[in-house]
Amino acid sequence: MVDIPSISSSGATSVMKPSFKRHVETFLPPEQLGSQIPPYRPNYAFPGPFIDTAHRRLAETRLKDDILIQVKNRRWLGSVIRGWLRREDALKLYELSYFSPGDILELGSHRGLSTSILSSAVKNAGRTKHVYTVDLNHKCVRATKYNLRWMGLHRDVTVMRDDAIETVKRFATTNKRFSFIFIDHSHEYDPVYAVCRELVNITTYGALCLFHDYNDMRNGDPENIDYGVYQAVIDGLDSRRFEFVGIYGCAALYRVT
């Protein structure tokens, strides 16, 4: 059994806001990964089941194999943006981006599915903040730019082709800080662990970090060397600086304290 990473109760009291909710009961030990998919539940308080119509559309969008959301880059005659997001993941991404008080960083854009959700939330929130996204694959970078432009979401996004850990270190040297970071650049232990060790250097006080593919049964298989997100987060995040917030779909949320 793995203990839930958390800070002392006195520390948590000084950080948590009344409108922010944690769901620590969703924590899973490694042997139970993927055995259940916790539903989307809000961390922030807002009236009604959805933040706005865009948030609602994510809940109603068509699914592939009853699992993965299918979002088009144009409403009419558009093509589906390739990606692997559950409905629960997408709803959480939109919420955290919408309420983020500052800039947002995405590590691993793929073809821009998650990036479009982040950017859409920023645009609809009407706040002055910017999305930075990085991917090492030049085809993914090109596809992300293409899809964002067709959706009219490119103005609030800086798309970069680079290594995730090198990008994080470069931001740290320039004292750049983010309020929300979505980590989805790799499923392997070493790349995720390396980023986890650096996150404290690029996050603001109270920042949120969402780790995709954390709740995946392949992380609990010692024979599967391609998956190690769960273990990398547990080992890489300093429990004195990060607290577990909850699992939503296959993603886990941690908060800087």
Q: Give the pLDDT band (50/70/90) at residue 3.
A: very low
Q: In this structure, what token pair is assigned to residue 99?
A: 């309420």
Q: Give the pLDDT band (50/70/90) at residue 19.
A: confident
- Give the global pTM: 0.91
184-226 pLDDT tens trace:
999 999 999 999 999 999 999 999 999 999 999 999 888 898 9
Q: Give the pLDDT band (50/70/90) at residue 77.
A: confident
Q: Which amino acid is it at 27?
A: F
Q: Which amino acid is it at 140?
A: C
Give the CA dihedral 241, 243, 247, 252, nearest 10 degrees. Answer: 0
pLDDT higher than threshold 50 for residue 231: yes
164-174 pLDDT tens trace:
999 999 999 99
What percent of the chain clears pLDDT 70, i.e. is strictly above it?
A: 93
Cβ-contact 96, 210 below 8 angstroms: yes
Mark 184-215 as b/e (b = at least 16 C-beta within 10 Å).
bbbbebebbbbbbbbbbebbeeebbbbbbbbb
The β-bridge partners of 180 are 104, 208
The pLDDT of residue 63 is: 95
C-alpha closest to that of 22 among 43, 51, 45: 43
The pLDDT of residue 133 is: 98
What crossing angle do the helices spanning 113-125 and 87-99 adopt, rounded to 10°? 40
Q: In this structure, what token pair is assigned to residue 42?
A: 């809000």
